[in-house]
Structure 1
C-alpha cells in the first residue's frame, strides 16, 4: 500500500504539476518518498520565501501552476510573504505543508515547529486553506484546489497534512483525477447591456487589467472598432502591441491620462481591481471615473470594491470580450489606425514624455537596451527605481514577459527568485532580474539555486547604495533619513563566491554587449550598474 504522501505526488503529476519548489525537512521528508517515481522536477531554494517567489515567477511566465513543499511552522511563516504577493496579484500556487500529528494539533506542548494555528496564519494570503485529516479525502481536496485554479480568480491554495497522515497508509484513489471546472462566462443579458452602452458611447475608454492577459485578440478588435483609448495595468502589459496608436500605456496615475479618462462618457474596466498601485501610484487620490462604468471581473466580490459600476459583470475576461465583439458584429479586420482617438492619444503621449525627468529617461533607455539586445526577454523586477519608471512607461512585446513586486503587496527580495522560477518555466527565453542593491540583500542567496541548476538568469543590479526611493520620500516630507543609508556589500565578490559570473556595465553600449554574453552562458550572471555613473557619465 502506498503512503498518503506517495499518493499525493502521483496526484500532483496527474494534475499536470511538473515542478516543485521545496526545502526538505524532518516534517516533510515523507512527501519525497514517491517523488523519484514521477517526472516532477524538484528545485531546492535557499529559503521558503524564495520557494514561493519562484513558484510565483514560474506561474506568471508560463500560466501553469507550480507546487511548494513547506515544513510546519517556520517554513510557513517564511513563505507567507511570497503568498501575500501572489494573492495580491492573482497568481496561482499550490502550497503543500506538513503540520503536527493529529493528536498534537492545538495541544501547545512545545513540539518541534509547532504553530498555534497554521491555517489561521495563512488565511489572509490564500484563496483556500485546508487541513487533511483523513487520507480518503485527498482526492477531493486536490480536486477542489485545481478546480479553483481552473475556474476562479487564481490565488495561492494551501493544503496542510499532519505528519502521521503523510507517512501513513493511503486510501483507494479514483482511477483518474476528478475533472476541474471551466471559467465562468457572462450571461446573454449582460453581453447585450454592455454592447448597447458601448455602441452608444461617444468617448469610451477601456482599462485592461491582468485578468485580461489571455484576451489579446478580442481586446484589440474591440478597442479598434470602438476607437477607444486604453490603458494597461502592470500585469496586462503586452496585451496589445507596443506603440499601438490607441495605447495610453500604464500611465493611469499621471495627469494627462487621468484627464482623458475623466472626460470619457463610458469606461469599460476588464479584469482589473482598479487598485491603488496601478491607478494611484503616487498616492494623491486623483484618479476619478466620472462617466458610466462597466466592470468585468472573474471575482464577483471585486466588482463592488474601489469603484461601484453601473453594470457589473462576473465573467472571465476573454469570454466577455469575445462575446461583446460578437454582439457588436466586429469583423477581425476592423481597424481605425488614423482615428480621431489615435490623434488624441498621440497628443497625450507627447505630454507624458515631457513630464519625464532625467532619471526616468535613463531608465527608459536602459529598458530599450534590454529589449533591443534580448528581444524575447522576460523582465522580472523588484521594488527599485527603474522598475517604478517601467511600471509607467515600459511596453512589453507580449504578455507574461514583464512582472515585478512594486505593485500589489509590494515586497522586497522578489526579483531574483521570481526570475529563477520564470527561467525554469521558459528555458528558451532570456530572463533579466532587475533588482536594487537593497532588495538584492533580501534574497541574494538564491544565486546558489541558479548556479546548481545551470540557469542563465541575468541579475541586473541597480546600485544606488541604500534605500534611495524611501530616502527621497523622507526628504520630500521633511523626515530625518534614518535607516536608509545602509552598508553596501561587494556584490561582485559575493556573486563569485556563489559561482556566478560577474561584470560591471560602463555605458549603454557596454551593457548591450554584457547582456548578450550573459544570455549565452550556462549559469547566472550578475551585471552591476552604478546609478550615479548612469546619470552622470553614460552615453
Structure 2
C-alpha cells in the first residue's frame, strides 16, 4: 500500500517515530484504535497501562528519566478525563508530555454518543499548556510539530493535548512533512556584566538552584570560583555535591532558612519558580539584591521582588557566567554556620517525621550507583527529601506541584522503561499506593526489576498531623489496608516485609536483580 493510501492514524505514529518518539503509553479503545494501526509498523514500543491515569504518570516518569516528551494515546471522553490528573501534575512540574486522543466528529447536533462530553477540548485545556482539535491531517501534523518543538525548545515544557476526530483518523492521508530544527541563541557578555559585578563585590553571595538546572559541572565550577553558599530546591537535589562547601541542602522549606538567606548580601536564584511548594512561606526572605534567572517570564515578576531579571536557559546562563570569570579569593561564609543550621533542620525533621531518617539512611546506603527514585505523596518522601542529599541531579522525582497521590509506582515504571538496564526504585505510602496499585500488572508484564518501597504506618499520617496541629479531631485518617503480600502475589509480583534494617538492605539489593517488581513493606517498627 503506497504511503498516500495510509490512514492518518498510521501516519501519526510514523511521524512521531521520525521525530524521535520510541515509546507510547496508553490504552486502545474503539475510538482510538486507528492510532494503534501504525504503532508496530513504525517501530514504536507501546506500554499498556491498566488505567489512563497510570499511562499519564508513566509518560511523566519516562519524560523525567529520558529528557524526551512522554507520549500517550487515549480514547475520547473518559480516556481524556482519566489522564487529566497526570496532565495537571506534568503542568505543575513542567514535564514534557503530549496526549493525543480521539474525539467525536460531531457533538452539537448529535447527543447520546459513546464517550460524549460537553467540551472535551475545554476540559483538557484546564490542565495543559494548550489543548486543540485537529480537523484535518495537515492540521494534525502542524499541531504535533508545534507541540514537539515547544516541548523541546520553548519556555516551560508543559503538557499539550491534541484531539483528532475519529473520521479524520480513519481517512487516508499524505505522510507528514520533514521536521525542522531550532537553535538556541546565547546571551551577550553585556547581559551578564551586571551579575558578574555583583558577584565580585559580594562578600556572602548565595545561589539557589532549581529543577530548571541540569548542568551539575557548571554549578560545581561556579561555587568553587565564587565561594558562594547554596541551597537547592527539591527538584534541584543532586546539583550540588553533598560534600560541597557552604551547602545548606534542600532545606528551603524550613522556617530557619529565611534567616540564613537574609544574611546573604547577594542571592541568585536559577531555574526555580520559588513557588509555595519550594518555600512553604510567602516570600524567600532575602534582604539583599535578588537576581532571578528563568526560561519563563512568569516567575520573574512574582512576589519575591527580583532586582535583576534574566529570561534565559538556566544551564546556558551558568556556563556563560562561568566562562566570563567570576573567581573570588575568599568567602564570608563559614562551615560552622552551615553545620549548625543543617543539624538544627535534621532535628526538626526527626521531630516532624519520627523513625524515618534512620530507615532512609540505611536505604540510601544499599542502593546501586545511578539509582533513579520516584516517590509518592508520603511522609517517607517528605522527610527524605530534606535529609537525603543526592549525588547527581535528576535522579529523585516527586509530584511536587500538583501533589497527587498514586504517582510513584506508574512514574517509576515509565522511568524504568526509559532507563532499561539501569536501577529504578519507587517509594509510596500505604494509602497512596492503592490509588494505582493496579499498575503492578504492567510492571510484571514488562518484567521490571523494580523495588517498590511501601511505607506502611496504617494511616494518612501527614493529614493526621495537620489536623491535630489545626485542633481538628483527626477523623477519617485510619484505613483498613489489604493484605499487601496477597495483593502483590495476585499480580505476580514479589513481596517482602523485612524486620530489621540489615534485612531491608539485603531485600532491596535482591529486588534489583529480580525479573519482576518487588513490593517491600516497611513500618516504623523497623527502628522502634
TM-score by length of 1: 0.93
Whether the aligned pair in 1 keeps the contact of 2:232 and 2:240 (CA below 8 Å) is no
Pair 1:380–1:172, CA change in 2 (3 A): closer
Question: What residue in structure 1 maps to residue 125 of structure 2?
Answer: 123
User: After the TM superposition, which parts of structure 1 deviate over 6 Å for at least 4 consecutive aligned residues?
Assistant: none
Gaps of 5+ in 1: none
Question: What residue in structure 1 maps to residue 389 of structure 2?
Answer: 395
The partner residue of 2:320 within 323, 338, 342 is 323
Whether the aligned pair in 1 keeps the contact of 2:350 and 2:357 (CA below 8 Å) is no
Query: How far is 1:133 from its partner?
Result: 1.0
The partner residue of 1:372 within 349, 353, 365 is 365
Query: How far is 1:302 from its partner?
Result: 2.2
Alpha-carbon distance in structure 1 between the residues aligned to 2:283 and 2:215: 29
Question: What residue in structure 1 maps to residue 230 of structure 2?
Answer: 230
Partner of 1:357, secondary structure, is helix
Alpha carbon RMSD of aligned pairs, Å? 1.9
Whether the aligned pair in 2 keeps the contact of 1:98 and 1:162 (CA below 8 Å) is yes
Structure-to-structure mapping, 1:345-494, within 5 angstroms: 345-357=338-350, 360=353, 362-376=355-369, 377-405=371-399, 407-494=400-487
CA offsets 1:51-90 (integer angstroms, 9 cap, x no match) = 1100111111221222100111111111111011111111
> Number of residues paired by the alignment?
522
Question: What residue in structure 1 maps to residue 309 of structure 2?
Answer: 312
Query: How far is 1:48 from its partner?
Result: 0.5
Which sits farther off after the overlay, 318-327 or 42-51?
A: 318-327
The partner residue of 1:83 within 83, 87, 90 is 87
Alpha-carbon distance in structure 2 between the residues aligned to 1:371 and 1:429: 16
CA offsets 1:257-291 (integer angstroms, 9 cap, x no match) = 321101112110100000011111xxx54741221
Alpha-carbon distance in structure 2 between the residues aligned to 1:410 and 1:431: 21
Whether the aligned pair in 2 keeps the contact of 1:227 and 1:341 (CA below 8 Å) is no
Alpha-carbon distance in structure 2 between the residues aligned to 1:350 and 1:485: 33
Whether the aligned pair in 1 keeps the contact of 2:15 and 2:176 (CA below 8 Å) is no
Whether the aligned pair in 1 keeps the contact of 2:196 and 2:326 (CA below 8 Å) is no
Whether the aligned pair in 1 keeps the contact of 2:350 and 2:356 (CA below 8 Å) is no
Whether the aligned pair in 2 keeps the contact of 1:292 and 1:310 (CA below 8 Å) is yes
Which sits farther off after the overlay, 306-315 or 519-528?
A: 306-315
Question: What residue in structure 2 maps to residue 507 of structure 1?
Answer: 500
Question: What residue in structure 1 maps to residue 526 of structure 2?
Answer: 534
Alpha-carbon distance in structure 1 between the residues aligned to 2:185 and 2:389: 30
Gaps of 5+ in 2: none
Alpha-carbon distance in structure 2 between the residues aligned to 1:137 and 1:289: 48
Alpha-carbon distance in structure 1 between the residues aligned to 2:325 and 2:201: 11
Query: How far is 1:185 from its partner?
Result: 4.0
Alpha-carbon distance in structure 1 between the residues aligned to 2:329 and 2:527: 41
Question: What residue in structure 1 maps to residue 250 of structure 2?
Answer: 250
Question: What residue in structure 1 maps to residue 286 of structure 2?
Answer: 289
Partner of 1:346, secondary structure, is helix
Alpha-carbon distance in structure 2 between the residues aligned to 1:87 and 1:314: 20
Pair 1:255–1:477, CA change in 2 (3 A): closer
Alpha-carbon distance in structure 2 between the residues aligned to 1:306 and 1:170: 50
Query: How far is 1:327 from its partner?
Result: 2.0
2:61 pairs with 1:57:
yes
CA offsets 1:127-148 (integer angstroms, 9 cap, x no match) = 2222111112233222211111
Which sits farther off after the overlay, 375-384 or 17-26?
A: 375-384
Question: What residue in structure 2 maps to residue 194 of structure 1?
Answer: 195
TM-score by length of 2: 0.95
2:68 pairs with 1:74:
no
